[in-house]
Amino acid sequence: MLPEEPRKLMKTEQLSRFAGFGIGLASLFTENVLAHPCIVLRRQCQVNYHARHYHLTPFTVINIMYSFNKTQGPRALWKGMGSTFIVQGVTLGAEGLISEFTPLPREVSHKWNPKQIGEHLLLKSLTYMVAMPFYSASLIETVQSEIIRDNTGILECVKEGIGRVIGMGVPHSKRLLPLFSLIFPTVLHGVLHYIISSIIQKFVLLILKRKTYNSHVAESTSPVQSMLDAYFPELIANFAASLCSDVILYPLETVLHRLHIQGTRTIIDNTDLGYEVLPINTQYEGMRDCINTIKQEEGMLGFYKGFGAVIIQYTLHAAVLQITKIIYSTLLQNSV
């Protein structure tokens, strides 16, 4: 039999490891599953050039979500979730393979130099290029109306992505932009998103760790607080990084999604009414033309259509982080 004190310590350590796993899982679940209806609606609003209502606030977004759910059922807000996981898998796989067969580094060391940064960003750029046709197919799955949608399999995204590369698959219109003309906006958005989120993450983490260190020096910290400090700063930094990069690059994302969806014969839901469907019949010649057309026809706020969904998405994420923190603190206090 172990003495009382070591046994208690072992129990706390086990709970700490289990809770750390649970916290990470809750964060992943929020980012990839709970947030999906917000991503679906945000994308539908972004590509809907017909829309008179821009849904810039959470209140109108919740209203339109309710309408879609009422007319089409819950599937209307969860469509294309499997394909988003496939795109993430393709991205991770492509990055791993490219770094394996080239000298391009996956990670940047602490003693970095401009050459290493350049090579790392080149790896990211090549990765986004490889994932681009699958991202395009996934985008179509998330915005295509459930009313006219066939029950596609989970690997439909892979089939459509490969079909887009070799010029086969679902017939597209003449307005479809060739993949090479989508490379620049796709890589630009991906690399900028990565740079902004990396800088914000490191900056927030540095502030939080310094704050934690100062509080530890100033006063004795409880075991519960020490364990919270081991997990939560990184989650908060990731949250802040993702939020800032999504907000800053929202106009560019709107342009990117319009270019990807053009000419794909996609039918979307009417985000003004909450019922009926609309075709996508844009005729942008490229990125610059898309930016100028949105500015002229929809105004500067046209770049922010569906922004209310981002507010809901990150409010949900913050709430889940806070609830997880409270549960974790309570469990630890009971065990200490």
- Per-residue HEC secondary structure of the chain comes to CCCHHHHHHHHHHHHHHHHHHHHHHHHHHHHHHHCHHHHHHHHHHHHCCCCCCCCCCHHHHHHHHHHHHHHHCCHHHHCCHHHHHHHHHHHHHHHHHHHHHCCCCCCCCCCCCHHHHHHHHHHHHHHHHHHHHHHHHHHHHHHECCCCCCCCCCCHHHHHHHHHHHCCCCCCCCCCCCHHHHHHHHHHHHHHHHHHHHHHHHHHHHHHHHHHHHHHHHCCCCHHHHHHHHHHHHHHHHHHHHHHHHHHCHHHHHHHHHHHHCCCCCEEECCCCCCCEEECCCCCCCHHHHHHHHHHHHCHHHHHCCHHHHHHHHHHHHHHHHHHHHHHHHHHHHHC
The class (CATH top level) of 4-334 is: mainly alpha
User: Cβ atoms within 10 A of the Cβ of 127, count?
Assistant: 26
Do residues 237 and 204 lie in contact, with contact meaning Cβ atoms separated by under 8 Å? yes
pLDDT tens per residue, range 227-275: 666 677 888 899 999 999 999 999 999 999 999 999 988 999 999 988 8
pLDDT tens per residue, range 121-165: 999 999 999 999 999 999 999 999 988 776 667 788 888 888 888
pLDDT of residue 5 exceeding 70, the answer is: no
The pLDDT value given to residue 226: 62
Do residues 8 and 289 lie in contact, with contact meaning Cβ atoms separated by under 8 Å? no
The token pair at 93 is 């796989």
The pLDDT value given to residue 278: 92
Judged on CB neighbours under 10 Å (0-12, 13-18, 19+), 121 is middle
Side chain identity at 295, as an amino acid letter?
Answer: K
Pick from 335, 92, 55, 320: nearest CA to 222: 335
The token pair at 54 is 């821009």
pLDDT of residue 1 exceeding 50, the answer is: no
d(CA 186, CA 184): 6
All residues at 6 or more sequence positions from 91 whose CB lies less than 8 Å from its CB, including other chains: 127, 128, 130, 131
Instruction: Taking residues 79-103, report their average pLDDT.
Output: 92
> Residue 2: which pLDDT band, with cuts at 50, 70 and 90?
very low
Write down the pTM of the prediction: 0.87
The pLDDT value given to residue 40: 95
d(CA 20, CA 169): 44
Pick from 206, 157, 181: nearest CA to 258: 181
Query: In the chain, what is the greatest distance between 2 CA atoms, to the nearest angstrom?
Result: 77
d(CA 136, CA 87): 9
